[in-house]
């Protein structure tokens, strides 16, 4: 199976986008990406875009989906951060959300109702660096996460401003790498083959 349901209980072998880890059978119950992430063409990087992000990091999302994690995130303090407790939109024509992604070196991607979020893949699609904040996240295999993301445990949320500041010098390179990883696995042209190979294995 391929499942994008929130926090599913993995019974069958397959790929689960929002499974809670650790899974019982890690070689048969794999992490996955959200297929819908390639729908939003507004997230594609602009050609010849020389604009540098002005924000160190950002998060726009609803706190109520995971208040113990997201509440601490919106309470972070940094002069170059944008932290808003509101729906991120999830619409393909949400230009404000897309502009927020493009204007951020790092995009905070905390757990929601389940341990992951399609915000991770939207961020990669926009050539920005996802900061993944979820203790139960099961990463999709084959993606080189170390080269294109930062990962923070839920107990270390207060370290996010200093972590982003320490890595801002390589944020552009990491963002480009995130986009490359997305193109290699998550595009409409590549996704079916990637999922098919994993399910066959």
Neighbouring-strand partners of residue 133:
110, 152
Do 125 and 40 meet the contact criterion of CB atoms below 8 Å apart?
yes
- The two tokens of residue 24 are 């019982």
Q: What is the pTM of this model?
A: 0.94
Is 197 a residue whose pLDDT tops 80? yes
pLDDT of amino acid 90: 55
One-character DSSP codes across 101-119: HHTEEEEEEE--SSS--TH
Highest mean pLDDT among 50-59, 84-93, 113-122, 165-174: 165-174
């Amino acid at each position: 199976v391929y499942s994008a349901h929130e926090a599913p209980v993995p019974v069958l072998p397959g790929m689960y986008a929002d499974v809670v880890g650790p899974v019982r059978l890690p070689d048969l119950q794999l992490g996955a990406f959200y297929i819908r992430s390639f729908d939003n063409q507004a997230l594609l990087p602009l050609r010849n875009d020389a604009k540098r992000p002005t924000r160190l990091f950002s998060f726009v999302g609803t706190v109520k989906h995971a208040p113990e994690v997201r509440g601490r995130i919106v309470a972070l303090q940094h002069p170059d951060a944008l932290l808003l407790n509101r729906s991120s939109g999830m619409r393909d024509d949400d230009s404000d959300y897309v502009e927020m992604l493009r204007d951020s070196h790092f995009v905070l991607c905390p757990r929601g109702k389940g341990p992951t979020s399609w915000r991770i893949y939207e961020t990669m699609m926009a050539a920005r660096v996802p900061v993944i904040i979820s203790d139960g996240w099961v990463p999709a295999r084959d993606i080189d996460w170390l080269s294109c993301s930062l990962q923070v445990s839920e107990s270390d949320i207060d370290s996010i401003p200093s972590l982003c500041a320490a890595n801002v010098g390589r944020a552009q390179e990491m963002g480009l790498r995130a986009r490359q990883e997305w193109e290699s696995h998550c595009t409409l042209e590549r996704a079916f083959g990637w999922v098919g190979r994993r399910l066959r294995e």
